[in-house]
Amino acid sequence: MANRVNSQAETNVSEHDCGMMTEICNFCQALYWRNELNSSNNYTKCCHDGKVRLPSLAETPDLLKELLTNNSLEARNYQQHIREYNAALAFASMGAEVKSPPGKGPYCFRIHGQIYHRIAPLYSNERFKPGYGQLYIFDASEANSRSLENNPSCLSSVMEKLDALLRTINPYAESYLQMRHLIQSNPTVNVKMIFMEHPDLDMRRYNAPTSRTEVAAIFVGDDGEPPANRDICIYPIGEVVQIYPH
């Protein structure tokens, strides 16, 4: 009897039609349904009345277009092992205490506590192999050899092309290379590189840096603390550390 009642209830569900998205935000031209008006008769779920402004996306590098859309051997390998390439060329790793929920069910990535960056000093030591940002102080051939050691499924030719692309367009790679040159020319001074956190940026959007001067400042001296508005501080020597965001 209960099953029969439930079946009848399901068949009596009325269809709701939202209509066409004909309403347009006056600031960013986002499309809305008429019923999405707020109590002030405005559409504010997109840019908050023009307060959030997003620049146009930069053109995707030709190399990435080819690897993501072509059907060549290199493209198929990249698409199949894209996470390995991403990890091999990363500048830092993410750290957190992951606590899986008890029982069975779909996979759930649940984090307990703080999320942090895990990053190494500029130069490796006997305990830690070079990795992450350290690789960008080596020449391209040595960096690629080290990246492929832990990622045997990746193709050397693809890794070389991606490494060359990052060294050309990525401001963090440029910062690591500049720090290396500075240390080599001034081996007796204390050098620190600070990846800056700009307090005046809008935290509601992703503010992608476009040049080395936007992301890093290099300090030379025997003393002095880095500025308070820092995100990550890189030292020439030391051990792997966990950097908590401010």
The two three-digit tokens of residue 111, written as one number: 């984090």
Amino acid 99 reads K
Positions of the chain with pLDDT lower than 50, given as ranges: 211-222, 224, 226-246
Tell me what pLDDT residue 9 has. 55
Predicted confidence (pLDDT) per residue in 133-170, tens digit: 667 666 677 777 877 888 889 999 998 999 889 888 88
Predicted confidence (pLDDT) per residue in 19-30, tens digit: 899 999 988 899
Tell me what pLDDT residue 120 has. 63
Tell me what pLDDT residue 31 has. 93
The two three-digit tokens of residue 26, written as one number: 């006056």
Tell me what pLDDT residue 230 has. 44
Tell me what pLDDT residue 204 has. 53
Q: How far apart are CA 184 and CA 126, in angstroms?
A: 21
User: What does DSSP say about strands 111-119 and 191-196: parallel, antiparallel, or unpaired?
Assistant: unpaired
Q: How far apart are CA 121 and CA 144, in angstroms?
A: 19
Tell me what pLDDT residue 215 has. 45
Kindly list the distances between the CA atom of residue 131 and the CA atoms of 44, 118, 124, 175, 186, in Å, as whole numbers in the listed order. Answer: 44, 11, 8, 16, 24
Q: Tokens 């996470």 map to which residue?
A: 83
Tell me what pLDDT residue 134 has. 65
Tell me what pLDDT residue 240 has. 42
